[in-house]
Chain A
């Protein structure tokens, strides 16, 4: 039940209603139905929805070394442009297992241009 209320609240907020006003509106509705005790659980469900939404919108570029960050960002932005996605708020992290190159993940897309990926593909082709 709380999941449905949280989804409705999330939709109101993402549709442009000020969060404070939306929460008050929901509170009044629950009070009218005698379900105001649900409010705390709706809050927790809303946090989970927000986390999931953030995971879906965040774009992370992983690089093997810090000094590769700038070059990787430029290449990743070009790829994002080709995919028709906005290149704002690009987060970067270091993953030394990549060996070299970069790896972009976010918005349900994955572009792996790391040396590890190339070497693994090559290994699989040679050994099978």
Chain B
């Protein structure tokens, strides 16, 4: 202990204290504060970046889920549209078929009526011709018959007999 006290130098103690305190103050201002601030900033930056990355990941997941949902919706929509188209097509086909049928029927009817009227006309024509023909024939027959008196009387008698029957 006595040796220690003997070794103690007041001058060195004084200089050590003064220089150390000056060093401490200078370092605090020019080194430790900026260093610690920078390190803290960096750590905060890393923390923020990690949080942001986590958020981005979540967002990404959301986006994926969204797009999947959209895809699903689109698919169902497409299916519905296809179904609808198919229905429309079927309906159109059925409609046109019906229309065609109606039209056909109409045309058939029309044709039938035309045929009928043609037929009637033809028949009438035939009738006329037959009448004319029969008149002509009758004329010729009468001309021959009436050339003989006896025959004429017979005919008149026959005709009169027919009238009685009517």
Same complex: no
**Which residues of A are in contact with B by a Cβ distance under 8 Å?**
none
